[in-house]
Amino acid sequence: MSLLEIEDLRLHIGNLPILKGINLTLGQGKVMGLVGESGSGKSMTALAVMQLLPAAIQASGRISFNGISLLGAPEAAMNRLRGNDIGMVFQEPMTALNPVKTIGEQVSEGIRWHTRASRAEAEERARRMLDRVGLPEAKFPLSRYPHELSGGQRQRVVIAIACALAPKLLIADEPTTALDVVLQKQILELLRDLVDEHKMGLLLISHDLAVVADMSDRVTIMRNGEVMEAGETAHTLSQQRHPYTRQLALASMHVPDRGEKAADRQGPEEARSAPLLSVNNVTRDYPHRRTSLFGKPGVFRAVDSVSFTLDEGQSVALVGRSGCGKSTLARMILALDRPTSGTINLSGYDVSALPEAKLKPARRNMQIVFQDPYGSFDPRHKVERLVAEPLHLLEIAPSISERRDMVADALDKVGLAPADMDKYPHEFSGGQRQRISIARAIITRPKLIVADEPVSALDVSIRAQALDLFADLNARLGVAYLFITHDLTVARAITDRVMVMHEGKIVESGRTDDILDRPQSDAAKALVAAAPDLQRALERRLARIGRI
């Protein structure tokens, strides 16, 4: 008898099937990776095990945990299992903790609920658990509130809550997706250690094949509510017998074909023309919150004397961990914020000093693509209006028919049909929406596009298409990119040059391959070492099997 057995699990909302007969077995002390793209039913499977599905969903089949049937188990029995024998870690650490309760209360609460321990005993255990997940008492007393912690620290608290009573089964639903790569590595290592210490079974849900390859003994690959393939991790992912497994693996390692341009651009000719963008000694300070009514507030230096240039048609990655100042720098380049000192010059316009009224020509030359293709559109506007939005930057407003022509042209360039302009954003998939936001960015024919984590919210196959599109537009329209990302595979796939940012400074910059293969600074080394890599993970796993 295995720890967790799922047999022919089916979920429906009315007549709409969500899961179509899932089978999955997880043994004690083992790690099962559950992989799939959004909408494949991974999270629904996890919630079915927890019996925390939305009320509208009907379930059938069999889920047994340690011989206990969970499907249809009475609520009281589930309450005894949840948090005690089965723990769960969620994707979004920023919202997973109650903002009005201290972390001590939130960790000790479950302990008291299940063990009837006194408040003092429960707090003592909570203290030990928080120490264990890397939140020592000196810096993180029990009286801290969630808003005083960073995302990575909050995720540690969530893990402490889930593991406080050493559950037999831990379910982790995309536990690191919202974190930067260095934090991701730390959190995954913590999970692995806790699983080893307590001989827990871990059901690890992820869309990232590299993470799963690194962490799990077995994988189950899901698509549209069905299991495509399941088996031992190294074999399944290296042999790729199922076409969908192969498709996923290829997509996650996808590098767009950028021709010889990348190499060309490193040639000496680039030095001749004036750079498209030059950032000179830019610093941005934010005042700290005032501590008293009359005291002078201190400053936080978000960006510290940054200088670089970017040539026409060049594609540059700005990489760094969350909070390193890369988004602040991007905001200043886009003239959405002003530097405290230093200048930023975009094709002859001083965007760091010009008044708003005189920025129009500069704004035409720079556009942005945001991370979240769901949140960056007004859901009540049609695509035509959304894509045409930057056209107010033109000196002469286009007529209605001209406007439609321009929108049609932009949609055509990103691979959408001109007829799509009469639809609303909800009629498109995530990947198509990101195409719409790229169409919106290119409609003024900008020379520079700043893309803030443009593919990190996308599934791997859509992500591969988006990267191809970026590469294609770079080659055809000669538009330069500044990619802001913590994902080195994106940087490697699509940029000529990389700049590594750390605590407000650019600590290293150079050709993409050089930096990613031979990082010099500690910050760059940490990023490279933490970046999940499917190939390396599989090699390690196969080597381990070979040794046994």
Partner 1 sequence: MSAFLAKRLLIGLVTLIVASIVVFAVLEIVPGDPALLMLGMNATPEALEALRSQMGLDQSIPVRYFNWIGGMLMGDFGRSWTYSSPVLDLIIERGIVSLPLAILSLFLSTAIAIPVGIFAASRRGTIADSASMGAAQIGVAIPNFWFALLLVYLFAVWLRVLPAGGFPGWGAGIWPALKALIMPSLALALPQAAILARVTRSAMLEVLGEDYIRTARAKGMSRRTVLWRHALRNAMIPVLTILGLQFAFLLAGTIIIENVFYLPGLGRLVFQAITQRDLIVVEGVVMLLVASVVVVNLVVDILYAAVDPRLRVKA
| DSSP of 59-120 | EEEEEEETTEE-TT--HHHHHHHBTTTEEEE-S-TTTSS-TTS-HHHHHHHHHHHHH---HH
Among 88, 203, 406, 498, binds partner 1 (CB under 8 A): 88
How many alpha carbons lie under 13 Å from residue 126 in its C-beta half-sphere?
28
Least Å distance between CB 100 and partner 1? 5
CB of 174 to partner 1, least distance (A): 13
Smallest gap from residue 302 Cβ to partner 1 (A): 20
User: Is residue 168 a contact residue for partner 1 (CB under 8 A)?
Assistant: no
511 pairs with which residues across the strands?
497
* Strand ranges in 165-251 using DSSP code E only, listed in sequence order: 169-173, 201-206, 218-223, 226-232
Of 61, 511, 103, nearest to 500 by C-alpha is 511
The rounded distance, in Å, linking the Cα atoms of 434 and 383 is: 12
User: Is 4 near partner 1 (CB under 8 A)?
Assistant: no
CB of 537 to partner 1, least distance (A): 29
Stretch that binds partner 1, among 105-113, 128-136, 265-273, 390-398 (CB under 8 A): 105-113
Give alpha helix (H) positions in 366-445. Answer: 383-388, 400-413, 430-442
Size of the site for partner 1 (CB under 8 A): 37
CB of 379 to partner 1, least distance (A): 19
- Candidates 156-164, 256-264, 353-361, 520-528; binding stretch for partner 1 (CB under 8 A): 156-164
CB under 8 A: which stretch of 14-22, 31-39, 59-67, 85-93 binds partner 1? Answer: 85-93
| Structural contact between residues 316 and 495, judged by C-beta atoms closer than 8 angstroms | yes
Does residue 145 touch partner 1 according to CB under 8 A? yes
d(CA 408, CA 404): 6
Structure-derived torsion over alpha carbons of residues 490, 386, 358, 284, reported in degrees to the nearest 10: -40
Report the residue from 119, 128, 147, 544 that binds partner 1 according to the rule CB under 8 A: 147
The verdict on 58 binding partner 1 (CB under 8 A) reads no
> Which of 292, 356, 399, 546 is close enough to bind partner 1 by CB under 8 A?
292
Name the 3-class secondary structure at 507. Answer: strand
Sign of torsion, CA 352 357 363 364? negative
User: Which is nearer to partner 1, 67 or 99 (by Cβ)?
Assistant: 99
The answer to whether the CB of 494 falls within 8 A of the CB of 483 is yes
Q: Does 286 bind partner 1 (CB under 8 A)?
A: no
Closest by CA position to 257, among listed 511, 497, 534, 470: 470
Among residues 19, 161, 276, 410, the one that binds partner 1 under rule CB under 8 A: 161
Stretch that binds partner 1, among 95-103, 304-312, 362-370, 507-515 (CB under 8 A): 95-103
457 binds partner 1 (CB under 8 A): no
Would you count residue 36 as binding partner 1 (CB under 8 A)?
A: no
Does residue 396 belong to the site contacting partner 1 (CB under 8 A)? no
Q: Determine the number of helices (DSSP H) and then strands (DSSP E) in the chain.
A: 20, 20
290 sits near partner 1 (criterion: CB under 8 A): yes
537 in contact with partner 1 (CB under 8 A): no
Specify the residue, 101 or 358, whose C-beta has the smaller distance to partner 1: 101
Residue 426 touching partner 1 (CB under 8 A): no
Binding of partner 1 by 289 (CB under 8 A): yes
Q: Which residue from 82, 125, 435, 463 is in contact with partner 1, where contact means CB under 8 A?
A: 82
158 binds partner 1 (CB under 8 A): yes
The reply on whether position 154 binds partner 1 by CB under 8 A is: no
Q: Smallest gap, in angstroms, from Cβ of residue 142 to partner 1?
A: 14
Tokens of 370: 């945001």
DSSP states of 253-299:
T-----TTHHHHTTSGGGGTSPPSEEEEEEEEEEEPPPSSSSSPP-E
**Contacting positions for partner 1 (CB under 8 A):** 50, 52, 75-76, 78-84, 87-88, 90, 92, 95-101, 106, 109-110, 113-114, 145, 147, 158, 161-162, 289-293
